[in-house]
Amino acid sequence: MSPPALSVRGGALGALAPFAVFLAGVGWLALSGAPDERGFWPILLAALALGLALARDRGRYADTLLTGMAQPLVMVMVLAWLLAGVLSTLLGSAGFVQALVWITAQLGLSGGAYVMAAFLTCAVVSTSTGTSFGTILICGPLLYPAAAGVGADPVVLAGAILAGATFGDSISPISDTTIASSGTQQVDIGGTVRARLKYVLPAGAVAAIAYLSLGAGAPGDAMAAAAGSPRGLPMIVVPLAIIAMLLAKRHLVEALLSGIVLATLLALSLGLIAPAQLLRVEPGSFAAKSLIIDGLERGVGVSVFTLLLVGLVAGLEASGTLGRLVGRAATGPARPARAEARIVGVVMAAVLVTTHSVVAILAVGDYARRAGEAAGLGGYRRANLLDVAVCTWPFLLPYFLPTILMSGATASGADAGLPRISALDAGLWNVYSWGLLVMLALAVGTGYGRRE
């Protein structure tokens, strides 16, 4: 028997008030140009403090926050971000991204061709590392400044980089949304990814064609070759090995740790990184320096953000407000198309309220599983509806972290005379996420892919 709902002063409005504070704070930070997810920490603490003040049983509210944060799937997410941060740091330091850029330069790409190549490059990196944030932070400052020299439209290029980062978030076996969607629907990651190809590949193809056709800007000198080097090409073995292990249904932690070890050994043996980069102590600093430490720190911001936000959502769930909202959406006959439309609508509403893809999946995952099973929907189908849905609005709207991060990354073009692109413009030119919206509507409306 489930415990009684947590009583909150003000009823449903009181339960939603902390989220109003959170959304107002996020909007203010976005308009103020603060793209670092660490800036959201104080906003979340203020929202949690308001939730505590409104709860009639503050001890139970505090316990609810901790229970929500301690969910095994949440811990998997946090560990995945930390390990993915290490992996992306090692690959970046070993010249993996520069090698991909070098390939595009050797092919003589410019204008729309360069923009399309930037999209494909970011798609490879994000699929390899499973992190859209890391892809934006690594590839954005490297690929965007070249727009001035290769005749690419800066706004379209920014959208292409964001779109490529989105691609990996929607399909990579080590993406947080892939792990969360498959975990909540109790299906394996490898099968989920294989079933998702029918949605992401058409959207990706449309995006590539759009960037090729619309990416040309003012003519420039071919200077992309200076941005890359072929030395890091052998590092492609690392992401391929990780993806192969996950498709073979090996444990996520095993795959990521194995990939980190392989990347370290390969980079050291090829002379791409020096042993001192792995761990050194600088005299007088009283601190250790390391690529490993840098990688872990890269995942700290989003990990703390997620833990605090999951706690905030747990308070809303304990009040029964979220359940009542989901329940209202769940009424009616359990026909497949109707059930799918409700699953998509509920998870989209959750991601718009929480501003976090994984938190949204975790919040409505149990409902999606129960409603989908009642309508005869397979686990892969349910997982993919959840995942595709949350890879749309967070990568399109200007108050979400991916678009804010992309806007910040375009500041790297200042020395080349390029403008900083707003989060709104970057999202508008994320053709891939718009394509996913179309595929989602097609899937629900026609039943495309329903037999999974």
pLDDT in tens, 211-243: 999 998 766 544 444 556 788 889 888 878 877
Region of residue 55 (left: phi > 0; alpha: psi -120 to 50; beta: else): beta
**How many C-alpha atoms does 385 have within 13 Å on its Cβ side?**
39
Which range is least confidently modeled, 97-106, 159-168, 224-233, 256-265?
A: 224-233
Q: What is the pTM of this model?
A: 0.73
Does residue 318 form part of some domain? yes
Domain membership of residue 174 as a residue range: 11-446
Region of residue 10 (left: phi > 0; alpha: psi -120 to 50; beta: else): left
The domain total for the chain is: 1
Does residue 2 form part of some domain? no
Does residue 3 form part of some domain? no
Which residue in 350, 306, 304 sits closest to 325, CA to CA? Answer: 350
Note the pLDDT tens digit of each residue in 61-111.
999 999 988 888 778 778 877 887 888 788 888 888 778 777 767 777 888
Contact 46, 25 (CB under 8 A): yes
Q: At 152, is the secondary structure helix, strand, or coil?
A: strand
What integer pLDDT is reported at residue 284 of this predicted model? 67
Does residue 241 form part of some domain? yes
Note the pLDDT tens digit of each residue in 353-370.
777 788 889 888 888 998
What integer pLDDT is reported at residue 98 of this predicted model? 76
Residue entry with tokens 């923009």: 115
Does residue 1 form part of some domain? no
Residue 68 phi/psi, 5° resolution? -65, -45
Note the pLDDT tens digit of each residue in 279-338.
887 776 667 788 888 888 877 887 888 788 888 888 887 888 766 766 665 555 568 888
Counting residues of the chain whose pLDDT is more than 90, the rounded percentage is: 36
What is the distance between the alpha carbons of residues 200 and 349, in angstroms, rounded to a whole number? 22
What integer pLDDT is reported at residue 223 of this predicted model? 46
Residue 53 pLDDT more than 70? yes
Which residue in 395, 404, 405 sits closest to 427, CA to CA? Answer: 395
Does residue 372 form part of some domain? yes
User: Radius of gyration (Cα) for the chain, nearest Å?
Assistant: 22
Q: What is each CA distance from 210 to 70, 108, 119, 203, in whole angstroms?
A: 43, 19, 11, 11
Note the pLDDT tens digit of each residue in 379-399.
999 999 999 999 999 999 887
Helices 291-318/40-54 angle, 10° precision: 30
Which span out of 18-22, 67-71, 117-121, 155-159 was modeled with the highest average pLDDT?
155-159
What is the distance between the alpha carbons of residues 69 and 316, in angstroms, rounded to a whole number? 13
Helices 431-446/336-354 angle, 10° precision: 150
> Would you tell me how many other CB atoms lie within 10 Å of the CB of residue 45?
12
Does residue 425 form part of some domain? yes
More confident residue, 452 or 155: 155
Angle at alpha carbon of residue 98, lines to 433 and 157, rounded to 5°: 35
Average pLDDT score, the chain: 85
Does residue 249 form part of some domain? yes
Helix (H) or strand (E) segment spanning residue 447: none
What integer pLDDT is reported at residue 418 of this predicted model? 83
Note the pLDDT tens digit of each residue in 396-412.
988 777 887 788 788 77
What integer pLDDT is reported at residue 181 of this predicted model? 93
Contact 180, 365 (CB under 8 A): yes
Q: At 398, is the secondary structure helix, strand, or coil?
A: coil
Contact 191, 380 (CB under 8 A): yes
Bridge partners of 170?
A: none
Residue 143 pLDDT more than 70? yes
